[in-house]
Structure 1
C-alpha cells in the first residue's frame, strides 16, 4: 500500500512540474541594458549579456526574428516583464503568451521583450 501511495505522489509531482503554466512572474516591468544576441533558425529565443555579466534569456517579437542582423550583437535597452521558465528538461520549446521559445537557455526566467532601443 505504501509503495502505491509513493508512486501516486511521484506521478503527481512529475505532472505538476511538467504542466506548469506560463504565468507571469511578479517582477513587474523590467528594463535591462546590455548586448543582445538573436538566435537564428530557432524559435523566438535570444539572450542579453548585461553590463554586470549576467545572461538573461529573451522572448523576442517576430519583427526582430525576421531581421536578426538589425539587433544581433548590438548594445540595447530592453523593457518587458519577466516570465517563469518551465523547470522540466523535457521541453524542446514552450509558449510564453504569444511567443514560442526553445526550452534551454542561460537563465531561470525569460524577459518577454516589449520595447528595444539601440544604445549609441
Structure 2
C-alpha cells in the first residue's frame, strides 16, 4: 500500500510543480498538501483525491499540453517530444487516480477482517 501512496503523492507534486512554474503559490501549496488527506481513513477523502486527479488530468495536463503544442506549431519548433512527455505525465496521473481504488479496497478489506 505504501507504493500507492507514493504514486498519488508524486502525481500531486507534479501538478503542484506545474502551478509553481506559473507562480500560483496557493494552488501549488494546495496540491502539494492534498495527499495529507490520505491520513483521513474515510472513503470520501480518498474519493475526493481521486476526483481531483481525474479532473486535473483533463484540465491541467490536457489544456496545457494542447496550448504548448499549439505554441510549438506556431513557432515552427519540434513538438512531438513535448506531446509525448505531457502524455506520459497525464498517464501517470491517471494511474495515480486508479491507485486510489486500491487504497479504498484495502481499507474496506481491513475493516471487515476485524
TM-score, normalised to structure 2, is: 0.24
Q: Which protein is bigger by CA-based radius of gyration?
A: 1
TM-score, normalised to structure 1, is: 0.23
Q: Which has the higher strand share?
A: 1
